[in-house]
Amino acid sequence: MALLLGLTFAWFTDTAANKGNKIQAGTLQVALLENGADIGGSPDPVFDHNLWEPGYSTGKASLAVENIGSLAVKYELSFQSGDLSQSKGIENVIDVYVDDVSVGTLATFLNGSAFDSGTLEAGASSAARSVYLKMQESAGNTYQGAVATFDILLKATQAPVEKDGFGDDQYDKDAAYAWDGATKTEVVPDQDGVYRVSTGSDLAWIAQAVADGTLGKTRSGEGVTVELQSDIDLGGNEWTPIGGDNPFTGTFDGKGHTIENLTASSNPSSSDPTRGVALFGYAENATVKNLKIVNCNLRGGYATSAIVGDGCAPLAFENIEVASGTIASIQDVENRQAQVAGGILGQGWGPSGSSITFAQCVNSADVTVNKWHAGGIWGSVTASEGENVDVISLADCANYGSITAIGSGYAGGLGAFAYAGNCVISGCSNSGTVSAASPSSEFVAAFNGAPINGNTVS
């Protein structure tokens, strides 16, 4: 028998390190060339003639695309509407010729269609295309004195060329072009009445249709259903919110997709353009769900948010993430200081018996107001015509953004201010910095006059 006391066993060991590993993102950058010269951003128009008449044609422009980045790209060349307020429809009688072949009218391409497209490896250039415009000989006196302006637009995005570590070159095959900031493409509902949206121009048409009052409540009063079919890049272009003087009513289902580079500083659809600066300027009896917002930049004067600026209950927000960006009510108008902003909802209200619910909603954008109410999930829920919503409900929601009320205002990690029959909070948290001169709270700064500093349901 062997008795081993106080012995230490040592194991042979060795270490090897592979150092200097590096991640460097590629660059996606293209140039628009005319006769070999870069004209991107040039103030000198390619087509500039002020004595158009039937049968007139411009000189031929030799247009090409050069890939000056390090990633393969797919591209489209089109035209973008400028000022058509005095066009008298002349864009409908101007034919576009590419390599001496008529490919449609100018109006065709102002609506978003491409007159040239292709794929380019890094460092490559496309073949030059000869482009000119000609006024139809049949154009009549209607167009005398007409004026129309437009831009030549080059759009580019990733192309499925480079392979990943598994040899797959199709991982970015669905990369979409960023919205150009102007094009609106009509969305026709399917047989079930659902408006299926795939591009920024589709979404812009939805906003226009709501503003015009042509897309609103159905006969049942339940509203319309809009569903995203793909991720959308709004390109940082100025967005006109969906809903202003006319509300969006119905269901918006993002289907798990992302809207990125949402930028807005006014709401032209509202009689107060500083109010309701958000993806949805004004929503009433609406549900927004299954949506992610990345890199938003919203700056308004009142009721600013990434999702809904102004909202009339019943309202439901489900499975929404605002992943990054800034949301700020900082546009002072004369003696009125900017006020009220929230990550998901700027300001809400509603009739007795109604509810505003948030489930699985996360905000990581920074929220700032000059005065009054700043909240990670909502800014303010207030009374309207003597009535309050019955319940505000939050389940499994979180805020990670910095929440700041600069002047005399309230700031809350979840909500800043509310009057309602009840407020039910479960499974929620705040990890963002909350700053205000007046009352503040990690959860709700003021609910019926008192703070809520934690979950109300365990």
The CATH number given to whatever domain includes residue 99 is 2.60.40
Instruction: State the CATH number of the domain containing residue 441.
Output: 2.160.20
Whether residue 23 is predicted with pLDDT greater than 50 in this model: the reply is no
Please report, to the nearest 10 degrees, the dihedral formed by the alpha carbons of residues 255, 348, 218, 215 taken in order: -70
Supply φ then ψ for residue 128, to 5 degrees: -65, 135
Domain boundary among 113, 137, 158: 158
First-last CA distance in the chain: 60
Strands (E), 218-365: 224-228, 232-233, 248-260, 263-264, 275-277, 280-294, 296-300, 302-305, 308-322, 325-329, 339-342, 345-349, 355-363
- Residue 122 within a domain: yes
Least confident segment among 61-75, 223-237, 442-456: 61-75
pLDDT of amino acid 409: 86
CA atoms within 13 A on the CB side of 282: 23
Output 417 or 105, whichever has higher pLDDT. Answer: 417
pTM, 2 dp: 0.71
- Residue 390 within a domain: yes
| Of 219, 273, 270, the residue nearest 246 (C-alpha) | 270
| Of 311, 301, 312, the residue nearest 341 (C-alpha) | 301
pLDDT of amino acid 175: 56
Which tokens belong to 260? Answer: 């990125």
Query: Where does the pLDDT of residue 178 fall: very low under 50, low under 70, confident under 90, or very high at 90 and above?
Result: confident
Supply φ then ψ for residue 27, to 5 degrees: -115, 140
- Residue 19 within a domain: no
Q: Do 154 and 201 sit in the same domain of this protein?
A: no
Whether residue 6 is predicted with pLDDT greater than 60 in this model: the reply is no
pLDDT of amino acid 384: 83
Query: Where does the pLDDT of residue 1 fall: very low under 50, low under 70, confident under 90, or very high at 90 and above?
Result: very low
**CB 317 within 8 Å of CB 363:** no
Q: Do 130 and 256 sit in the same domain of this protein?
A: no
Q: Using CA of residue 221, residue 226, residue 227, residue 231, what is the dihedral sign? A: negative
Q: What are the distances in angstroms from CA 185 to CA 25, 67, 250, 386?
A: 33, 28, 21, 42
- Residue 189 within a domain: no
Domain range for 142 = 30-158
Q: Do 140 and 288 sit in the same domain of this protein?
A: no
Query: Where does the pLDDT of residue 201 fall: very low under 50, low under 70, confident under 90, or very high at 90 and above?
Result: very high
Q: What are the distances in angstroms from CA 368 to CA 292, 327, 330, 400?
A: 21, 6, 7, 14
- Residue 174 within a domain: no
Q: Do 153 and 213 sit in the same domain of this protein?
A: no
- Residue 15 within a domain: no
Query: Where does the pLDDT of residue 7 fall: very low under 50, low under 70, confident under 90, or very high at 90 and above?
Result: very low
Query: Where does the pLDDT of residue 19 fall: very low under 50, low under 70, confident under 90, or very high at 90 and above?
Result: very low
- Residue 169 within a domain: no
- Residue 437 within a domain: yes
